Every structure is written in C-alpha cells, then in structure tokens.
Amino acid sequence: MANYNAPLNDMHFVLFDVLKAHSLSECPGYEDATEDMVRAVLDEAAKMAENVLQPINQQGDIEGCQYDPETKLVTTPTGFKEAYKQFAQGGWSGLSASPEYGGQGLPHLLKIVVDEMACSTNLSMGMYPGLSHGAIDALTLHASDFLKDTYLPKLISGEWTGTMCLTEPQCGTDLGLIRTKADPQADGSYHITGTKIWITGGEHDMVDNIAHLVLAKLPGAPDSSKGISLFLVPKFLEDGTRNPAFCGGLEHKMGIKASATCVMNFENAKGWLIGEENQGLKCMFTMMNSARIMVGIQGLGLAEKAYQISLGFAKERLQSRSLTGPKNPEDKADPILVHPDVRRMISQQKVFLEGARCMAYWTGMHLDLSEKHPDEKVREEADDIVQIMTPIIKSYLTDDGYFSTDQALQSMGGSGFTQDWEVEQLLRDGRIARIYEGTNGIQALDLVGRKLMLKGGRLPRTYFAKMNQMIAELHNEDHVKHCKALLSTLQESLMWLAAHASKNPEEAGAAATPMLKLFALTSMAVMWATMANVAGSKKGDGAYTEAFYDGKLKAADHFFRVAHAQAAFFKADVEGGKSTLMAFAEDEF
C-alpha cells in the first residue's frame, strides 16, 4: 500500500520561487505570513494529513456513516471523532479566519495549500471543516454582532461545525424554486419549516452543536431567486434547548461515504436572519469564490494522491520487457514505467497536477491581494482575476483531476480497480466535486454568461493583461510563441462568442463549456511556461535537485506538445455553437 507524502517541494516551488508568495507578508494584516512561518505551518499540516487524516480514510469508506432512525442521530466511522478533535485542536479550522473571533488570520493561499493536503488524505473528513468555513465566511460578512459573537468563536475553534442548507427535492441548480418557509416571530427570530436534502454534515457525532445556514422564503417574498433569505438555525439553542432541526436519513452514495450527507427536516425550528431580507443569495455569493476554489482543490488533492500511488506502482510492477531491450536484467520483466503507453498516463498526470497547482495557488494569491493589498488598483485587478478564475478553477481542477485520477487507475491495470489500492476510492470520492457547489456546466455558464460581461467586460481585459505581463518575463522564445498563439486562439473564440451570443442566447449556452476549457488550457500554458522559466534560471542553484528542475522543464515541453491541437478542438467546439446540438428534435434522441 502506497502512502501519501505531502508534495512539499512542489508546493514550496510554486509558492516561493514562482509566485513569491512571501510578499503577502507586506500586506497589512498578513505580517506573520513570512516564508519561515509558511514553511513551518506546511510542515505541521503535512504531519497532520499524513498521520491523522490518512490512516482512517479507507476504513471510513468501508464503514460509512450510520443513521439511527430512533434518535435521528448520525455516527461517523471509527476514528473520525478523535481525528476531528486533533484537527480542531491543531487550530486548522480557523487558519484563515478573523483573529477577532479566535482565528489565525493567515492568508487564504496558505489555507488552500493545507486544504490540498487534507483532500489528498481524507476528503470525507475535510468536508466537515470545509462546510464550517463557508458558514464562518457568511457570518463574518453578513451577520449581526450578536450572531457573530455567539457563533463565530465556536465555529472557528472547531468546537461546532456549520452547514449550508440550500438544496431541496425540487430544487438544486434553480434555487428560485425553494419552498422552505420562514415565519417572523415577535421576539425577532423566525420559525423555519421545510425539508432540505443532501446536506453535508447536517448531523454527526463529532461536535456538540451544528450551525445550519438555511435558505428560506419569508411570507409574501417574490416567487423567484429574488425572494430568498438566509437564516442561522442551530441544532441547540443558547439555553441548550434542542431545536427541531432533525436529520431524516442519510444518502447512500458513490463516494465520500464518511461524509454524512443528510436529509434535514426543519419543523418550526428557531432561526435568525443573516443579512437583509430577500438578500440570501447575494450573501451566499459573497462567500462563493473561496468555497468554489476549495472544491477545485478537492479535484487536485485527490489526483495528487492517485499520482503518487500509481507512480510508485509503475516503478515496482514488473511486466514485459522494454521495447528497446531489458532495463532490469536481473528479473524476468521490466517495471511497467519503461513502456511508452504507461509513461503517457503517468506524464499526463504530472503535467496536469503541477500546472493546475500553480494555477490554483496563483488564483489564491490574488484572492489575498484582492482583500489585503494597500493599493486599491491592485486590489481591484486582483479581484477581477479571482472572479474570472473561480469557475475555471472549480470546473477544470475537478474535471481534469477526475480524468487524472482515472489515468492513475488505468495505469495500474486490475490492481487499480481493487480495494487493495486506494485509487478506486479516490475516483469515487472525486466524482461529486464535479457536481456540488454548482455543477461544472453551471460554472461554465457563470463564466460566459456573467463573468465575461461584468464591469463592462473588464475581467477578460484584466486577464489578458496579466497573461501578457507573465509572458513578457519569459526567456524561452518558443514558450513565448506558444503562449501568444494560445491567447490568440482564445481571443478569436471570444470574438465569435461576442458576435453570436447577442443574437441567440443558446449560442452562449452551447459554447460555455469549451470556452471554459480554452481559458483553462491558456492559463495552464502560461503557468507551465512560467514554471519552466523559473526552473531554467534556478537550475544548478542547489535549492532543489537537478532532477526536480529537469522534470519541470520536460513537463513543460510535454504540455506544449498537444496544447495547440487541444485549443483548436475547443475553438471548433465553441464555434460549432448550438447548431448540431439543438438540431435534434426530442424524439430523435
């Protein structure tokens, strides 16, 4: 059984050598985030992931969570309660939360790197504090002082967890269809009544109290997404009374079996309004960026672990001889890593993982700059990058992370399909990340239908400016040409979109997914060229091994080998528009 080792070298390389992330310590509020401090936190995070989260991952999958219909309580698998306690006591729940309420106030970027390790080693466990983090963000930004004082310290310390209760049987993507009701009470509270489904961490035994953030409609509210308000509904009220917010059952699902996915019945449960009436969706949107980036990181984290397992396997599994003669003459066969087709699967994983990590951390760094940089212009530009990159990170990292994990499984033959190796679990666990927090199709629509249009089309202009700025720093002329050509392809597709979407919105709907993929591919190109640039300049400095630097340079070459063909494919798909898609009559399917 292969174990996960946090890829600290790769993480350090992106953080300190490529992004110069230690410069964040110059931003007011982030003074503590020096390189030494970040390295020390990552060392500790690696120990927590490797020694606390990893050992219970497979058992969690086998046991799953258990529901007791008598008590309506949920039990998590063996070891989860203890591991969660260690996680919370280590201060990991409040890493980037406000120090005013007990958080450590460290950069989002650092949290993203720690999240990657947690997702690699135990996605199910990572979901509980992950959802709390969403609740912490929403409360910090929108709640009254009373709610903040009462709930934030316990959520940030990890003593309590939080949930996000949006989905109902008749509404997932289209939240305008919500039926849960909120009735105002004389004391300023509300009685919440309705059923929510698929609520992560809705009920479990790891903490004493759970703070549910619930979307519901007030009497007379508009019958659309404009009539939704956000409420905080605790499992236990401040005086210890049990609030009637009960789990009605657990979902039986393909993966993340140790994450309790609950039906939640609110039966006149007491709740408090967060933010203003009918502004519930707006409140949710303000915390959407970090939540969606976090889901993207799930795809990356799982793929990283699968890569480590499949690479270890490919170096040890002996089958057939190399096409160019024995490489392991003392045995009857060579390790499968000698075969070009296995190489294809292993190198595709490497190229995806390291490029996607750079892209995600780059976006995470802009999230911090958008909040903390002293110069308003820098903050605004950074916010543009976060806005445009968020749906790309969520969608690309989970889609291609899933394909990457699948490559790991395939490269291991039948072993990959068995439970002797964890890859089959990683594949099952990772599938949901393409669906929740807005399906990847909806992310593409968010990019094309909203983000490209925001602020008079400023976001893509900022994106192109940033990409060109990074290209201007490259030394390798071939890489410059590659990146410029890919940016041109993207530009041409955007022009096609601009010319056609206004005539018929279905053209934009049809073009959305390949357009997002084209953005992702172009961003990956600039990330790879930049990493190769840094590796080329630093090679021989002893900070990393020669193999490390050579690996980066060769991976960049491998990326560019098919990048233009892929871009041409996506461009053709964008420009195909709705034509052949909408041509079918319903009975022709």
Q: Is 200 in the site for ligand FAD (CB under 6 A)?
A: yes
- For residues 120 and 395, which CB has a smaller minimum distance to ligand FAD in the complex? 395
Output the DSSP codes for 151-212: HHHHHHHTSSEEEEE--BTTBSS-GGG---EEEE-TTS-EEEEEEEEEEETSS-SSSS-EEE
**3-state SS record for 226-269:** HHCEEEEEECECCCCCECCEEEEEECCCCCCCCCCEEEEEEEEE
Q: Is 199 in the site for ligand FAD (CB under 6 A)?
A: yes
Residue 441 beta carbon to ligand FAD: minimum distance, rounded to whole angstroms: 4
Residue 445 beta carbon to ligand FAD: minimum distance, rounded to whole angstroms: 6
What are the catalytic residues?
A: 437
Output the CA angle 244-250-251, nearest 5 degrees. 135
- For residues 439 and 566, which CB has a smaller minimum distance to ligand FAD in the complex? 439
Nearest to 60 by CA among 426, 537, 458: 426
Residue 165 beta carbon to ligand FAD: minimum distance, rounded to whole angstroms: 6
* C-alpha dihedral, 442 to 444 to 447 to 449, nearest 10°: -70
Among 441, 536, 551, 576, binds ligand FAD (CB under 6 A): 441
Q: Is 224 in the site for ligand FAD (CB under 6 A)?
A: no
Output the CA angle 521-24-294, nearest 5 degrees. 45
Q: Is 172 in the site for ligand FAD (CB under 6 A)?
A: yes
- Rounded to an integer, what distance in angstroms lies between the CA atom of residue 110 and that of residue 36? 13
Question: Which residue spans within 407-477 are E strands per DSSP?
Answer: none
Dihedral sign of CA atoms 473, 477, 483, 489 in order: positive
Residue 64 beta carbon to ligand FAD: minimum distance, rounded to whole angstroms: 12
Residue 525 main-chain phi, psi, to 5 deg: -60, -45
- For residues 39 and 253, which CB has a smaller minimum distance to ligand FAD in the complex? 253
Q: Which residues contact 37 (CB under 8 A, 6 or more apart)?
A: 25
Among 72, 81, 85, 253, binds ligand FAD (CB under 6 A): 253
Q: How many residues bind ligand FAD (CB under 6 A)?
A: 20
- Rounded to an integer, what distance in angstroms lies between the CA atom of residue 121 and that of residue 52? 9
- For residues 322 and 439, which CB has a smaller minimum distance to ligand FAD in the complex? 439
Q: Which long-range contacts (CB under 8 A, 24 or more apart) does 243-246 make?
A: 243/269, 243/270, 244/268, 244/269, 245/192, 245/212, 245/269, 246/72, 246/203
Residue 440 beta carbon to ligand FAD: minimum distance, rounded to whole angstroms: 7
Task: Determine the interface stretch with ligand FAD among 184-192, 235-243, 438-446, 555-563 (rule: CB under 6 A).
Answer: 438-446
Q: Is 476 in the site for ligand FAD (CB under 6 A)?
A: no
- Rounded to an integer, what distance in angstroms lies between the CA atom of residue 370 and that of residue 367? 5
- Rounded to an integer, what distance in angstroms lies between the CA atom of residue 284 and that of residue 138? 7
Q: Is 225 in the site for ligand FAD (CB under 6 A)?
A: no
Binding mask 95-134 toward ligand FAD (x if CB under 6 A, else -) reads ------------------------------------x---
Residue 406 beta carbon to ligand FAD: minimum distance, rounded to whole angstroms: 19
Task: Determine the interface stretch with ligand FAD among 205-213, 291-299, 430-438, 492-500 (rule: CB under 6 A).
Answer: 430-438
Q: Is 167 in the site for ligand FAD (CB under 6 A)?
A: yes
Q: Is 164 in the site for ligand FAD (CB under 6 A)?
A: yes
- For residues 33 and 445, which CB has a smaller minimum distance to ligand FAD in the complex? 445
Residue 192 beta carbon to ligand FAD: minimum distance, rounded to whole angstroms: 14
- Rounded to an integer, what distance in angstroms lies between the CA atom of residue 238 and that of residue 188? 15
DSSP class of 28: T
- For residues 94 and 130, which CB has a smaller minimum distance to ligand FAD in the complex? 130
- Rounded to an integer, what distance in angstroms lies between the CA atom of residue 212 and that of residue 270? 11
Contact present, 261 and 199 (Cβ < 8 Å) = yes
Among 18, 166, 314, 386, binds ligand FAD (CB under 6 A): 166
Q: Is 261 in the site for ligand FAD (CB under 6 A)?
A: yes
**3-state SS record for 488-545:** HHHHHHHHHHHHHHCCCHHHHHHHHHHHHHHHHHHHHHHHHHHHHHHHHHHCCCCCCC
- For residues 175 and 485, which CB has a smaller minimum distance to ligand FAD in the complex? 175
Q: Give residue number: closest CB to ligand FAD.
A: 172
Tallying the residues shown for the chain, one arrives at: 589
DSSP class of 85: H
Residue 432 beta carbon to ligand FAD: minimum distance, rounded to whole angstroms: 5
- For residues 467 and 520, which CB has a smaller minimum distance to ligand FAD in the complex? 520
Task: Determine the interface stretch with ligand FAD among 167-175, 223-231, 286-294, 337-345 (rule: CB under 6 A).
Answer: 167-175
Nearest to 558 by CA among 406, 350, 299: 350
Residue type, 7: P
Task: Determine the interface stretch with ligand FAD among 192-200, 330-338, 422-430, 524-532 (rule: CB under 6 A).
Answer: 192-200
Among 307, 436, 559, 560, binds ligand FAD (CB under 6 A): 436
- For residues 447 and 486, which CB has a smaller minimum distance to ligand FAD in the complex? 447
Q: Is 516 in the site for ligand FAD (CB under 6 A)?
A: no
Number of neighbouring beta carbons within 10 Å of residue 575: 16
Binding mask 444-463 toward ligand FAD (x if CB under 6 A, else -) reads -x------------------
- Across-strand partners of 75? 66
- For residues 253 and 539, which CB has a smaller minimum distance to ligand FAD in the complex? 253
- For residues 105 and 441, which CB has a smaller minimum distance to ligand FAD in the complex? 441
Q: Is 435 in the site for ligand FAD (CB under 6 A)?
A: yes
Task: Determine the interface stretch with ligand FAD among 39-47, 266-274, 439-447, 532-540 (rule: CB under 6 A).
Answer: 439-447
Among 302, 432, 433, 525, binds ligand FAD (CB under 6 A): 432
Residue type, 255: G
- List interacting residues with ligand FAD (CB under 6 A): 131, 164-167, 172-173, 198-200, 253, 261, 432, 435-436, 438-439, 441-442, 445
